[in-house]
Structure 1
Amino acid sequence: MSKFDEIRPFYDNEVNDALRGIARDPMMKALMSFTFPDVGRQVWLSKFKNTHSISDFQSNFISYTIRKILEKSSEGLTISGFDQLDKNTPYLFVSNHRDIVLDTSLLNLVLLEQGHIMTSSAIGDNLVQKSFLHVLAKLNRNFLVQRGLPLREQLKSSQLMSEYIDQLLHHEKRSVWIAQREGRTKDGNDATQQGVLKMLAMSAGDLSLIDYFKSLKIVPISISYEYDPTDMLKMPQLLAKHRDEEYIKDKDEDFTTMLSGVLGQKKRIHINAGKVLDTELDDIATKFDNKNKQLQAIAQIIDDSIIQNYKLWPTKYIAYDLLHNSNTYAEQYTEKEKQLFMRRLDMRLDLSDAVSKEYFLAMYANPLINKIKFENNLSV
């Protein structure tokens, strides 16, 4: 027994039994039929019998699923920055978070194809309530973030997760993916929650905060979708916040959002790997001796990297101009692109509802607005 058993993914010696256990589940049949539409069921069932590691499962099955998703629901994936990373070094990828499944799945496809160490990835246990999804998550090297706990249990859970991430990076030499915040960004404002960094710092031991964070080899990840297939699904929560109301999720809302994110049209996608945080951390150590101030400064440099390296698709410029009733960025998009975006807006919203329209446009425009603020701060 390991103290991490409650949250860890499968060990390789557990993979075959776990896979056999869900092989005939209707959801697995649907997944494999989508991935290998021209292959008979017995073929992949037979291959399952010879699959004995997470790496085999990801390389021989899930990587094909992700490529099929890209083929069916996007106009392609581009990348930048990964050539600056060492292929034999485990990194802590701290990422902006827009899609429940794809953010980490696309990153791992890139890492696989580029010959880098793939990640063990954090996922909220609220997202894997269905037994099939729980097993599938563990087969994809996901570890569980326990949600909705009482305060005392929350602290214990954070300590456990911190220790597990430390174990992965420093002992198992496994890269790790975590989102910069709890839950997906709904309004387009990518910001690192200090609580995430406090959780990581719990395992610093005798090291100073800065030395420990240097040892984690943090790489900020910026992922940008031209269209967000879950844009309308995010609106009720944004509007509830606007009205200062508590938002309560529907029973199957997370599952619906997962499916929409995977199958909905995204057009172009870009993932950037920022530079490993190193000398910036030394600068923080010289400026601040207070841990909270240091954590705030680390959160800021992660945010700056994500914002600076975020790919601005035409939809961001169009939304900005529509939001401000201007043609400020008209040279950044074509009339056809603008018409397509406006048609999407028209199909999803009652345009007479000014509040909904403003929130929808801001969701797309905020990455541009944040980049403008970042560049203005640089020039001050």
Structure 2
Amino acid sequence: MSKFDEIRYFYDHEVNEALHSIADDPMMRALMNFTFPTTDDQVWKDQFKEVFSIRDFQTHFVAHTIRQILAKSSDGLTTSGFDRLDKNTPYLFISNHRDIVLDTSLLNLVLLESGLIMTASAIGDNLVRKRFLNVLAKLNRNFLVQRGLSLRDQLRSSQTMSEYIDQQLHEENRSVWIAQREGRTKNGNDATQQGVLKMLAMAAGDQSLTDYFKSLKIVPISISYEYDPTDSLKMPQLLAQHRDEEYIKGKNEDFTTMLSGILGQKKRIHLHAGDVIDTELDDIAATIENKNKQLQAIAQIIDRSIIENYKLWPTKFIAYDLIHHTDKYASQYTEQEKQLFIRRLEMRIDPSDAVSKEYFLSMYANPLINKLKSEENFSE
């Protein structure tokens, strides 16, 4: 047994058997009927017999599913920055986190179509408790982040995950995706949790922190959705925080959120790959000695890249103007776009509830507000 068995995705020799174990699951039938709506079930079941690697599964099935999702629930995906990446180099992609499934799925579609190394991707084990979802995740090269552990077990789990990510990057020549924080950003404020970087640093061994982080080849990824299909689903948690109440998830809340994120309307989507964090780490090594402060500085570099390269769709400017009762950014959107956004707001929350309205608008406006702050701080 490998020490990674609890969290790892499938080895290629396990793929065919794993795929057949869920081929007759009603959820697989629904997924394949969505992906290939005019194809008889027996056709894709027969094709499964020829799948002997994760790459086979992702190329011949998953990529088609993601393209169908884009066709049915978006106005298209655009990208920038990926042409600066090397096709033979594994990278550690750290991104803002808006959607449970699509953030990493869209990235891997872009990597596949660009001829770049696809990722092993972190996913919370709380999201894949159903057997079908667990098998499907591992067929998609997802490794498990163990949630709800005691402090002692959490430390052990973090060490294992750090070593696994290190192994993927440095021994398997496999890119890795992790979110900049635990859980999705609910309020539009994209900020890297220092705990994520501390976990990564646990595998550094005798290397200095900055030298080790250079070896990871960190690429910040900015994921920008014009509309968040789960915007209204995030409101109960935001309102509970506002009232200083504990928020307890409903029984099938994660699954409902996953489906809404996949099938809900997103309009336009943009993914940007930032520059590899490299020389900035030399500057940190030369000017900061304290390890925690070094991690804080690295987090700030990731944040700046994600925020400054975030694509500001018209919805961000509309929300800003509505919050501030201004038309400062009226040139950035049309009256039709504004009315569509207002109609969405009125359909998704009670607009007479001032607190809900402010949180909903802030969710959309905060990427713009944060970009303005970042530009102001960087120019000082």
Q: TM-score range by the shorter chain?
A: over 0.9
Q: Residue type matched to 1:84 in 2?
A: R
CA distance in 2 between partners of 1:132 and 1:181 (Å): 26
Q: Residue type matched to 2:149 in 1?
A: L
Q: Residue type matched to 1:115 in 2?
A: G
* Alignment match, 1:167: 167
CA distance in 2 between partners of 1:2 and 1:49 (Å): 28
* Alignment match, 2:182: 182
* Cα displacement (A) at 1:164: 0.1
> What secondary structure does 2:86 align onto?
coil
> What secondary structure does 1:203 align onto?
coil
> What secondary structure does 2:75 align onto?
strand
Q: Give CA-to-partner distance per residue, 1:182-222, whole Å, 9 cap, x none.
A: 00000000000000000000000010000000000000000
Q: Residue type matched to 1:292 in 2?
A: N
Residues 283-322 of structure 1 aligned to structure 2 (within 5 Å): 283-322=283-322
Residues 341-356 of structure 1 aligned to structure 2 (within 5 Å): 341-356=341-356
* Cα displacement (A) at 1:348: 1.1
CA distance in 1 between partners of 2:357 and 2:351 (Å): 6
* Alignment match, 1:156: 156
CA distance in 1 between partners of 2:223 and 2:87 (Å): 20
> What secondary structure does 1:121 align onto?
strand
Q: Does 1:102 align with 2:102?
A: yes
* Cα displacement (A) at 1:377: 1.0
CA distance in 2 between partners of 1:347 and 1:94 (Å): 34
CA distance in 2 between partners of 1:183 and 1:374 (Å): 23
CA distance in 1 between partners of 2:333 and 2:182 (Å): 33
> What secondary structure does 1:72 align onto?
helix
* Cα displacement (A) at 1:153: 0.2
CA distance in 2 between partners of 1:351 and 1:212 (Å): 49
Q: Residue type matched to 2:154 in 1?
A: Q
Structure 2: gaps of 5 or more residues: none
CA distance in 2 between partners of 1:170 and 1:254 (Å): 33
* Alignment match, 2:8: 8
* Alignment match, 1:18: 18
CA distance in 1 between partners of 2:48 and 2:362 (Å): 45
CA distance in 1 between partners of 2:73 and 2:243 (Å): 34
CA distance in 2 between partners of 1:97 and 1:214 (Å): 23
* Cα displacement (A) at 1:312: 0.2
CA distance in 1 between partners of 2:293 and 2:157 (Å): 24
CA distance in 1 between partners of 2:203 and 2:20 (Å): 36
Q: Does 1:216 align with 2:216?
A: yes
CA distance in 2 between partners of 1:374 and 1:194 (Å): 19
Q: Does 1:75 align with 2:75?
A: yes
State how many pairs are aligned: 380
Q: Give CA-to-partner distance per residue, 1:287-320, whole Å, 9 cap, x none.
A: 1011000000000000000000000000000000
Deviates more, 1:278-287 or 1:256-265: 278-287
* Cα displacement (A) at 1:349: 1.4
Q: Residue type matched to 1:277 in 2?
A: I
Q: Does 1:127 align with 2:138?
A: no
CA distance in 1 between partners of 2:144 and 2:164 (Å): 11
> What secondary structure does 1:223 align onto?
strand
Residues 28-107 of structure 1 aligned to structure 2 (within 5 Å): 28-107=28-107
CA distance in 1 between partners of 2:88 and 2:204 (Å): 23
CA distance in 2 between partners of 1:355 and 1:211 (Å): 46
* Alignment match, 1:364: 364
Q: Residue type matched to 2:129 in 1?
A: Q
CA distance in 2 between partners of 1:351 and 1:62 (Å): 39
Q: Residue type matched to 2:344 in 1?
A: R
CA distance in 2 between partners of 1:363 and 1:142 (Å): 28
Deviates more, 1:345-354 or 1:154-163: 345-354
CA distance in 2 between partners of 1:198 and 1:378 (Å): 25
Q: Residue type matched to 1:234 in 2?
A: K
> What secondary structure does 2:17 align onto?
helix
Q: Residue type matched to 1:275 in 2?
A: D
Give the 4+ runs in structure 1 shifted more than 4 A.
none
* Alignment match, 2:196: 196
CA distance in 1 between partners of 2:14 and 2:215 (Å): 31
CA distance in 2 between partners of 1:195 and 1:65 (Å): 33
CA distance in 2 between partners of 1:74 and 1:253 (Å): 23
* Cα displacement (A) at 1:351: 1.2
CA distance in 1 between partners of 2:162 and 2:379 (Å): 37
Scaled by the length of structure 2, the TM-score of the pair is 1.00
* Alignment match, 1:140: 140
Q: Residue type matched to 2:63 in 1?
A: S
CA distance in 1 between partners of 2:350 and 2:36 (Å): 40
* Cα displacement (A) at 1:379: 2.1
* Alignment match, 1:230: 230
Cα RMSD of the aligned pairs, angstroms, is: 0.4
* Cα displacement (A) at 1:363: 0.1
> What secondary structure does 2:7 align onto?
coil
> What secondary structure does 1:235 align onto?
helix
